[in-house]
């Protein structure tokens, strides 16, 4: 098989560690819904879903009907799948036929669900998403009575599986005044649904940040994305964890993803010569430069030019010049015995050195989720111990 220019490794033991830590945080009652939107945050739906199932996960959340199809193909168990975002009307028959759960955030989607459920001969499995102040998607409080009446009148065709909302930036302590208002409104709307006696349903408001730091947000289910992959949602959430644990430092989350490639070519560059396009870097001495066979088309941001480094033979090799579409160069003058096809670590550990996703994204001025979710799906992913 023809090789790709880089490769991603996914650690099963790191994932197990992270889910164990999350379970300890949230307690035994709440269902963990593994959020695998954006190709499992760049980790790869096809590879990651079976790994999560091996850790006991039986509920997955995605952002679209298309992603739901990818998860359905990847599943090795009878796990439930929940669509939180776009679902085209023409895809509803397939969704209901496959008993996939989905968010309803307006009355029209309820009406469409009823019509399709009757034709398919199966119940539509819906989560009512409530508007509590995020002003993104969600059903407003004044529309809720009509929706409740509709659900009561059509129990045979539509099942209320869940009631949920999405916090508007709970990972930031500066947003807490908004979050508290959202919590109060959700509680009030939930009471109206409870009083209607629509049967059992799962309440869920907590994302990774909420689940890790705010126990009062943990209800019947939590939607965990960032944390399961080994990333803290924000410095605020990490600091709150330290405060709760009365610790000065802690590393309970382990990075699941490592990204590697190999040296493509080695060049001797005389003092005074420029390296790569333009005049971004001028050699201040005679240098040895290694050419790395990937660039911004592979998810390695151009903003890392002259600012970041990789690991080669356990040593830091700084980027010199601009990151191109398919290659970039690093200074290996200080690394002895360097040769073509030496392993290059972009994210991960090599000997006693580590490049974290956090350090990578700070240099590129991007959040953790943005960086990993942009990793192209064409990069091969493989599970490791």
Catalytic residue among 37, 229, 238, 281: 37
Q: And the tokens for 371?
A: 């960086």
Nearest residue to 6 (alpha-carbon basis) of 370, 316, 344: 344
CA 195 to the chain's CA centroid: 35
37 is catalytic: yes
282 is catalytic: no
Nearest residue to 189 (alpha-carbon basis) of 128, 137, 136: 128
Give the length of the chain.
385
Which residues share a beta bridge with 127? 103, 162
Question: Vertex 282, ends 281 and 283: CA angle to 5°?
Answer: 120
Residue position matching structure tokens 């191109």: 324
Catalytic residue among 119, 184, 192, 277: 277
- One-letter-per-residue 3-state SS of the chain: CCCCCCEEEEEHHHHHHHHHHHHHHHCCCCEEEEECHHHHHCCCHHHHHHHHHHCCCCEEEEEEHHHHHHHHHHCCCCCEEEEEEECCHHHHHHHHHCCCEEEECCHHHHHHHHHHHHHHCCCEEEEEEECCCCCCCCECHHHHHHHHHHHHHCCCCEEEEEEECCCCCCCCHHHHHHHHHHHHHHHHHHHHHHHCCCCCCEEECECHHHHHHCHHHCCCEEEECHHHHCCCCCHHHHHHHHHHHCCCCCCCCCCCEEEEEECCEEEEECCCCECCCCCCCECCCCEEEEEECCCHHHCCCHHHCCCCEEEECCEEEEEECCCCCCCEEEECCCCCCCCCCCEEEEEEEECCEEECHHHHHHHHCCCHHHHHHCCCCCCCEEEEC
- Residues in Cβ contact with 106 at an 8 Å cutoff, skipping those fewer than 6 apart: 139, 143
Question: Which residues are identified as catalytic?
Answer: 37, 277
């Amino acid at each position: 098989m023809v090789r790709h220019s880089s490769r991603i490794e996914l650690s099963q033991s790191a994932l197990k560690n992270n889910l164990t830590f999350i379970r300890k945080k949230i307690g035994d009652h709440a269902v963990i819904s593994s959020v695998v939107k954006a190709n499992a945050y760049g980790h790869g739906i096809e590879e990651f879903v079976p790994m999560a199932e091996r850790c006991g996960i039986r509920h997955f959340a995605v952002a679209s009907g298309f992603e739901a199809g990818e998860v359905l193909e990847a599943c090795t168990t009878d796990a439930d799948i929940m669509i939180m975002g776009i679902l085209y009307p023409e895809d509803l028959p397939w969704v209901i036929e496959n008993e996939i759960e989905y968010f309803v955030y307006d009355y029209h989607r309820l009406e469409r669900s009823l019509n399709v459920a009757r034709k398919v001969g199966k119940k539509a499995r819906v989560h009512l998403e409530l508007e509590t102040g995020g002003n993104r998607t969600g059903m407003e409080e004044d529309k809720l009575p009509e929706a409740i009446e509709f659900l009561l009148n059509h129990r045979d065709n539509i099942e209320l599986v869940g009631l949920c909302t999405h916090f508007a930036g709970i990972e930031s302590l500066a947003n807490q005044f908004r979050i508290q208002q959202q919590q109060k409104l959700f509680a009030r709307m939930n009471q109206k649904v409870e009083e209607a006696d629509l049967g059992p349903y799962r309440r869920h408001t907590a994302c990774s940040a909420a689940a890790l730091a705010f126990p009062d947000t943990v209800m019947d289910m939590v939607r965990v994305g960032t944390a399961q992959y080994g990333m803290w949602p924000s410095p605020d959430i990490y600091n709150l964890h330290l405060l709760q644990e009365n610790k000065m430092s802690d590393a309970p989350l382990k990075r699941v993803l490592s990204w590697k490639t190999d040296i493509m070519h080695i060049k001797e560059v005389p003092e005074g010569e420029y390296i790569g396009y333009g005049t971004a870097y001028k050699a201040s001495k005679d240098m040895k430069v290694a050419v790395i066979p990937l660039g911004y088309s592979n998810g390695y941001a151009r903003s890392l030019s002259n600012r970041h480094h990789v690991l080669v033979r356990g040593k830091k090799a700084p980027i010199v010049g601009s990151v191109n579409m398919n290659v970039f160069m690093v200074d290996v003058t200080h690394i002895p015995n360097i040769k073509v096809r030496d392993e290059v670590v972009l994210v991960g550990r090599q000997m006693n050195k580590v490049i974290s996703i956090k350090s990578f994204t700070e240099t590129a001025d991007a959040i953790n989720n943005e960086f990993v979710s942009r990793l192209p799906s064409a990069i091969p992913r493989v599970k490791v111990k």
